[in-house]
């Protein structure tokens, strides 16, 4: 009973120590070190550059400056926990950890601390069910949408019939890599293809045996859920066994310049799913140049501008800022709390007109978030690498995915989570 | 002057055999315990608990466990993280299968299950020694991680292979799960560390501990004087795994709350625990705590000093952290190859003679 009193007292101390909120704080849980830095650096740069742009060009948001608190996680969950604990006291409005492992870590914590988390294209897919996951958002697309988007693309290029085709999935042997398996299994039943799964262990430099198996079995298509150094190794291995690159399709985390460049011309034709556009041919990059790069305020080395993952960081920051803008509008004051930020995200609507006005026309799909749907539209496009011009090209526009298959899976998985964690789903009417 | 046995008379065997025969040690130990149990819980917040105290206490248990095996019994093991994984998954399966089971019972049962697994993997130690045994335990590490990744039964068929801890209460307060307060987490770990530390200390200075040390120092000589190597080695494996299993269980239930086996219990974790043992001091209870403290606290301290104090970019700080940690480890091992425990022993020796050294 003593510990009860102590616990109560300690809780009181913590509550008293809550700090005053000065700026709108957006922690950036980045990883510029370790085996996943190739993906972590451009993302963190893009995220920070967008925030700097808003501060420099618009003087912040509603008169409040945006403050990015960077914390290095090294893609390591323990350091992620440390980062979360050290930044949440500073008035953090929104976390975007860029790591599925850390996201799983944070999901229960943020629900009790009431701070929203946005996991764009990663994290726990069933968090799309906002009735159960009140503080978690994963718009505009998730892994299951990605899996379905890729299969849709395969249907497209095969005239709608992939019966009897064989598909191999090369995946990072972690929560992240395992996510699409269940969806792909359902889709294989529906469309009649055979699925082989080939796990690759962290950090992913060793893939000889997996590719030996692919060379032996010659699947028609290879899908990849990889991250960091695993991607470039896989593409190199595929090139080594002369696997036709146009039949090798990665998820968006396996679709950056850093992944394909090491293989040189051999990587030509490699495809990847994406939920945002590629390249730097948008008005916003002119503003970035004027207000950020030319003033010497660039985050990092500044050599990542316009790359696929830099754009994703930019896109993530845009969502954060628009969510905060909506929150300010709803709350009627500029100095919003994390709870108000959550409301803002839940009422977020990204339209063509909005993206136009932000200087990012057709940068991503247009979608609407709601109480029941935290996952957005889930529209997925396909990009292809052109080695000669050293650029990604969007070869199929953002198209709807097979929600008939995905929605029941989301409902089942979120219901299982709710039962396990003792959550009563709120009603969304 | 203050630190000496002279004048501290013992009038019974009991007093003579107590854990801290010197009054100075005794007084300071109990002062520290009062501080730890009755003062820190009032001031602890989420950051201090989750980034400093809880990981330190959990690693201290794991280090104690490995120290029993490697430091006292001389059997090198590289499978510690694998055994921690056994503890963590045992807790998960027990918690989800028997929701009404008391949390402490679950922790002890997880330790017991790990002890069984550890004993099984300890069997080769009867045949092979040294580097070869290290390789055999390395196999255990990889096998266990592979197993928990491969068989969906261990993670209740969840889509991602992650295990998440369900909430468990005791006396109406949450012990595990996100609602558990910093003070509760800290106190639960501290209480378990206290009990296990007490057990380890007394095991190692008793008959079993002496049989381990005999095996460590020269196994066939020990056999000749009547120590049964089978019992000594397997008991060391069992008790060591019991400790490590409890550490793994707490690592999952109290500290992280959600883990995936490859990331949380990879080979790096095994090496980290081995480094804690080596830096702290082989064959020392105090050393286990010192080593765990050094390797848990230093990175946090460095990070806060470099990023928070000096305002350096987080990536530069992260790289520097590696270099400084490496340099410090080398420095300490050059200055004192027998670890921090030996450094402390030398200090005590000097204190005994102070102020009149000869």
Which residues from chain A sit within 8 angstroms of residue B260, using beta carbons? 101, 104, 174-175
Q: Tell me which chain A residue has its CA closest to the CA of residue B266.
A: A202
8 A C-beta contact, residue A274 and residue A308: yes
Judged by a CB distance cut-off of 8 A, whether residue B138 touches chain A is no
Question: Structural domain of residue B210, as residue ranges?
Answer: 39-266
In-domain check, residue A298: yes
| Tens digits of residue pLDDT in B332-352 | 888 888 888 988 888 888 888
Q: Average pLDDT of chain A?
A: 89
Number of domains in chain A: 2
pLDDT tens-digit readout, A304-359: 898 999 999 999 999 999 999 999 999 999 999 999 999 999 999 999 999 999 99
Same domain, A267 and A311: no
Contact A421 B164 (CB under 8 A): yes
Alpha-carbon gap: B342 to the closest alpha carbon of chain A (Å): 30
> How far is CA B63 from each of CA A356, A386, B274, B298, rounded to the nearest angstrom?
58, 52, 8, 17
User: Distance from B160 to chain A by nearest Cα, in Å?
Assistant: 4
DSSP string, B102-150: -HHHHHHHHHHHHHHHHHHHHGGGGT--HHHHHHHHHHHHHHHHHHHHH
Residue position matching structure tokens 């496009």:
A381
Number of domains in chain B: 1
Q: Which residues contact A382 (CB under 8 A, 6 or more apart)?
A: A149, A150, A153, A249, A271, A272, A273, A274, A394, A395, A396
Domain presence at residue B150: yes
Q: What is the pLDDT of residue A20?
A: 42
Closest to B188 measured CA to CA, from B87, B88, B104, B93: B104
CB A6 within 8 A of CB B41: yes
Query: Does residue A4 belong to any structural domain of this protein?
Result: no
Which residues in B lie closer than 8 A to residue A119 (C-beta atoms)? none
Of A72, A77, A413, the CB nearest to B315: A72
Taking only the tens place, the pLDDT of each residue in A168-179 is: 999 998 888 888
A414 is a domain residue: no
Instruction: Nearest chain B residue to A418 by CA: give it.
Output: B166
pLDDT at residue B1 in the model: 59
Same domain assignment for residues A153 and A297: no
Shared domain check, A133 and A33: yes
Alpha helices (H) in A91-180, listed in sequence order: 100-113, 143-157, 175-178
Rounded CA-CA distance B232/B240 in Å is 12
Exposed / middle / buried, residue B298 (Cβ in 10 Å: 0-12, 13-18, 19+): middle
The answer to whether residues A179 and A230 belong to one domain is: yes
- Kindly report the CATH number assigned to the domain that includes residue A229: 3.40.50.2300
How does residue A428 score in pLDDT terms, banded at 50, 70 and 90? confident
Query: Residues A20-33: pLDDT tens digits?
Result: 446 899 999 999 98
Closest by CA to A180, choosing from A107, A246, A125, is A125
Cβ atoms B294, B331 nearer than 8 A: no
Task: Note the ipTM here.
Answer: 0.83
Compute the Cα dihedral for A309, A314, A320, A323 and give only its sign: negative
- Mean pLDDT, residues A202-207 taken together: 87
- Provide the pLDDT for residue A17: 40
Same-domain pairing of A107 and A156: no
Res. B325 pLDDT band, cuts 50 70 90: confident
Task: Judge contact between B263 and B85, C-beta under 8 A.
Answer: no
Whether A422 is covered by a domain: the verdict is no
- Hey, which bits of B31-95 come out as E strands? none
Residue A225 and residue A350 in one domain: no
Report the percent of chain A where pLDDT is more than 90.
Answer: 61
CB contact B169 to A (< 8 Å): no
Confidence at residue A289, expressed as pLDDT on a 0 to 100 scale: 93
Is A57 strand, coil or helix?
helix
Measure CB to CB from residue B257 to each of A108, A181, A199 and give the nearest one.
A108
Say if residue A126 is in the same domain as residue A160.
Answer: no
Q: What is the mean pLDDT of residues B169-180?
A: 84
Query: Which of A86, A125, A175 minimises the CB distance to B161?
Result: A175
pLDDT of residue B165: 87
Contact yes or no for B288/B65 (Cβ under 8 A): no
Q: Both tokens of residue B79?
A: 């499978």
- In a shared domain, residues A89 and A35: yes
Residue A111 preceded by cis peptide, ω within 30: no
Q: What is the pLDDT of residue B238?
A: 96
With H, G, I as helix, E, B as strand and everything else as coil, classify residue A236.
helix
B61-97 pLDDT tens trace: 999 999 999 999 999 899 999 999 999 999 999 998 9
Q: Summarize the confidence of residues B192-213 as an average pLDDT.
A: 94
Instruction: Report pLDDT digits (tens) over B88-131.
Output: 999 999 998 998 899 999 999 999 999 999 999 999 888 888 88
3-class SS of residue A403: helix
Closest residue in A to B48 (Cα–Cα): A85
Residue B312 belongs to a domain: no
- The confidence band for B152, taking pLDDT boundaries of 50, 70 and 90, is confident
pLDDT at A22: 63
Domain end (from A378, A394, A418): A378
Domain residues for A373? Answer: 21-141+278-378
Which residues in chain B have Cβ-Cβ distances shorter than 8 Å to A4? Answer: 171-173
Are A318 and A118 in contact by the 8 Å Cβ rule? The answer is: no
Q: Do A202 and B187 touch (CB under 8 A)?
A: no
Two tokens, residue A92: 């953090």
Please indicate whether, in this complex, the C-beta atoms of B51 and A181 are within 8 angstroms of each other: no
């Amino acid at each position: 009973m003593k510990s009860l009193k102590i616990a109560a007292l300690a809780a009181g101390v913590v509550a008293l120590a809550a700090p005053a909120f000065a700026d709108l704080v957006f922690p950036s849980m980045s990883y510029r070190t370790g085996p996943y830095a190739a993906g972590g650096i451009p993302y963190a740069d893009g995220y920070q550059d967008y925030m700097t742009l808003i501060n420099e060009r618009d003087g912040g948001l509603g008169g409040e400056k945006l403050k990015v608190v960077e914390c290095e996680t090294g893609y390591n969950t323990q350091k992620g926990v440390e980062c979360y604990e050290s930044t949440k006291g500073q008035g953090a409005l929104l976390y975007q950890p860029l790591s599925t492992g850390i996201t799983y870590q944070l999901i229960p914590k943020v629900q009790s601390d009431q701070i929203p988390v946005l996991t764009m294209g990663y994290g726990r897919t069933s968090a799309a069910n906002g009735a159960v996951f009140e503080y978690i958002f994963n718009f505009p697309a998730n892994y299951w949408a990605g899996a379905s988007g890729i299969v849709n693309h395969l249907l497209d290029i095969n005239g709608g019939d992939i019966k009897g085709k064989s598909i191999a999935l090369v995946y990072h042997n972690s929560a992240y890599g395992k996510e699409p398996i269940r969806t792909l299994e359902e889709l294989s039943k529906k469309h009649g293809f055979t699925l082989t799964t080939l796990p690759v262990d962290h950090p992913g430099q060793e893939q000889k045996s997996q590719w030996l198996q692919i060379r032996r079995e010659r699947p028609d298509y290879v899908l990849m859920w990889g991250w960091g150094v695993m991607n470039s190794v896989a593409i190199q291995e595929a090139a080594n066994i002369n696997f036709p690159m146009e039949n090798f399709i990665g998820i968006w985390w396996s679709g950056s310049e850093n992944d394909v460049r090491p293989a040189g011309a051999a990587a030509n034709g490699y495809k990847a799913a994406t939920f945002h556009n590629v390249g730097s041919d948008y008005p916003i990059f002119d503003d970035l140049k004027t207000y950020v790069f030319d003033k010497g305020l660039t985050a990092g080395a500044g050599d990542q501008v316009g790359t696929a993952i830099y754009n994703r960081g930019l896109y993530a920051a845009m969502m954060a800022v628009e969510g905060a803008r909506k929150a300010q509008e709803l709350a009627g004051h500029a100095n919003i709390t994390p709870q108000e930020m959550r409301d803002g995200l839940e009422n977020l609507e990204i339209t063509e007109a909005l993206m136009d006005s932000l200087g990012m026309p057709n940068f991503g799909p247009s979608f609407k978030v709601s109480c029941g749907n935290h996952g957005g539209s889930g529209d997925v496009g396909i990009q292809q690498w052109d080695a000669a011009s050293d650029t990604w090209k969007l070869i199929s526009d953002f198209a709807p995915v097979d929600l008939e298959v995905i929605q029941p899976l989301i409902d089942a998985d979120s219901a299982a989570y709710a039962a396990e964690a003792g959550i009563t789903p709120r009603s969304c009417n | 002057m203050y630190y000496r046995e002279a004048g501290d008379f013992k009038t019974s065997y009991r007093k003579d055999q107590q854990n801290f025969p010197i009054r100075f040690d005794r007084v300071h130990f109990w002062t520290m315990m009062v501080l730890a149990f009755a003062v820190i819980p009032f001031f602890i917040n989420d950051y201090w608990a989750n980034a400093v105290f809880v990981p330190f206490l959990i690693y201290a248990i794991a280090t104690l466990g490995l120290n029993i095996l490697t430091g006292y019994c001389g059997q090198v093991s590289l499978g510690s993280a694998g055994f921690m994984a056994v503890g963590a998954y045992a807790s998960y399966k027990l918690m989800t299968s028997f929701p009404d089971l008391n949390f402490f019972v679950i922790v002890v049962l997880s330790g017991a299950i790990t002890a069984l697994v550890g004993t099984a993997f300890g069997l080769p130690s009867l045949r092979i020694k040294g580097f070869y045994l290290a390789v055999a335990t390395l196999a255990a590490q990889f096998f266990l991680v592979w197993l928990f990744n491969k068989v969906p039964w261990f993670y209740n068929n969840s889509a991602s292979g992650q295990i998440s801890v369900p909430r468990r209460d005791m006396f109406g307060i949450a012990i595990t799960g996100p609602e558990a307060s910093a003070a509760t987490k800290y106190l639960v770990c501290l209480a378990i560390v206290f009990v296990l530390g007490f057990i380890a200390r007394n095991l190692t200075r008793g008959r079993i501990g002496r049989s381990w040390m005999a095996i460590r120092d020269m196994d066939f000589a020990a056999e000749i004087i009547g120590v049964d190597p089978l019992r000594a080695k397997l008991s060391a494996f069992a008790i060591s795994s019991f400790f490590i299993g409890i550490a793994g269980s707490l690592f999952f239930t109290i500290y992280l709350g959600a883990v995936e086996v490859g990331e949380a219990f990879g080979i790096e974790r095994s090496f980290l625990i081995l480094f804690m043992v080596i830096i702290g001091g082989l064959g020392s209870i105090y050393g286990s705590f010192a080593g765990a403290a050094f390797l848990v606290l230093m990175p946090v301290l460095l990070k806060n000093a470099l990023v928070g104090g000096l305002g350096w970019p987080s990536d530069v700080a992260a790289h520097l952290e590696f270099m400084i940690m490496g340099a410090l480890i080398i420095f300490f091992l050059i200055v004192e190859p027998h670890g921090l425990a030996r450094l402390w022993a030398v200090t005590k020796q000097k204190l005994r003679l102070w102020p009149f050294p000869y």
